């Protein structure tokens, strides 16, 4: 079963507007981490923001914030004041334990392609 | 800065060849990962390693194996390359905790003909 679900294959937003990219996840662990990455057309993977399962406050990093709703198992990324340079693929990811002393795998969703228009 | 280096940016191999993709990190990270990325499918985890000589299968391990003899190096092996293994392969590394991000290499575009 898919652990990370991103239901929006593509999104458009106008410059200076805010946009929300959806992410839901599936885990039975109590301790896990949620991440968002950006992949521009150049192909590099850029880490944006992290939210821990025990964090009570939503994470924020500059124009990025994570709307974490633990009971609903959702971790949506909010980008405020969109810029043309925000056009990229955005991936939601989760780290969860693989068992005793077996480390934490990192699983990704299928991504959302965001296009920011002038 | 963390550096994750993949040995090749582009690779063309023939069907049936044994293919090695190499990845080296310089930050003493415990965890290393191999993904393949295909349009519309996101990043799919092939294997990850949580320590030297230790590995776990990801979602799509069939047709692949891995080797981690030293902490800094994680190799992905295609025992007998097939055309459906044509893809972008991404290596990543991280510390071994749930709250640390992974750092990625630049990717290897593998074409099997």
What integer pLDDT is reported at residue A103 of this predicted model?
A: 80
Low-confidence ranges of chain B (pLDDT < 50): none
Confidence band, pLDDT 50/70/90 cuts, at residue A1 = low
Predicted confidence at residue A96, as pLDDT, reads 86
State whether residue A11 sits within 8 Å of chain B by CB.
no
Is residue A100 pLDDT above 90, yes or no? no
CB-based contact (8 Å) between A50 and chain B?
Answer: yes
Considering only CB atoms, which chain A residues are within 8 Å of B35? Answer: 108
Task: Please answer yes or no on whether B56 and A45 come within 8 Å at the CB atom.
Answer: no
By Cβ distance, the residue of A50, A97, A111 closest to B42 is A111
Residue A101 pLDDT > 90? no
Mutation target to probe the A interface, by most A beta carbons within 10 A, among B37, B59, B61, B98 is B98
Tell whether the model's pLDDT for residue A99 goes beyond 80: no
Cβ contact (<8 Å) for B90 and A45?
A: yes
State the pLDDT at residue A22.
Answer: 98
DSSP chain A: --SEE---SEEEEETT--EEE--EE----SSEEEEEEEE-TT---EEEEEEETT--SPPEETTEEEEEETTTTEEEEEE-S--GGG-EEEEEEEEEE-STTS-EEEEE---EEEEEE-
């Amino acid at each position: 079963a898919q652990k990370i679900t991103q239901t929006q294959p593509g999104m458009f937003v106008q410059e200076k507007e805010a946009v929300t990219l959806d992410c839901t996840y599936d885990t039975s662990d109590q301790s896990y981490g949620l991440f968002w990455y950006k992949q521009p057309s150049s192909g590099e993977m850029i880490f944006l923001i992290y939210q821990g399962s025990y964090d009570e406050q939503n994470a924020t990093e500059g124009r990025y914030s994570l709307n974490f709703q633990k009971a609903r198992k959702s971790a949506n990324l909010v980008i405020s004041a969109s810029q043309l340079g925000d056009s990229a693929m955005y991936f939601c990811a989760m780290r969860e334990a693989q068992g005793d002393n077996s480390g934490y795998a990192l699983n990704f969703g299928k991504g959302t392609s965001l296009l920011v228009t002038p | 800065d963390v550096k994750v280096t993949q040995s090749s940016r582009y690779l063309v191999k023939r069907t049936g060849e044994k293919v090695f993709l190499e990845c080296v990190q310089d930050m003493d990270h415990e965890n290393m990962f191999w993904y393949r990325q295909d349009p519309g499918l996101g990043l799919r985890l092939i294997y990850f390693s949580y320590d030297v000589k230790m590995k776990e299968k990801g979602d799509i391990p069939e047709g692949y194996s891995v080797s981690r003899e030293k902490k800094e190096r994680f190799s992905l092996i295609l025992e007998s390359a097939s055309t459906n293994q044509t893809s972008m392969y991404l290596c990543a590394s991280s510390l071994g905790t749930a709250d640390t991000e992974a750092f990625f290499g630049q990717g290897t575009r593998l074409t099997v003909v």
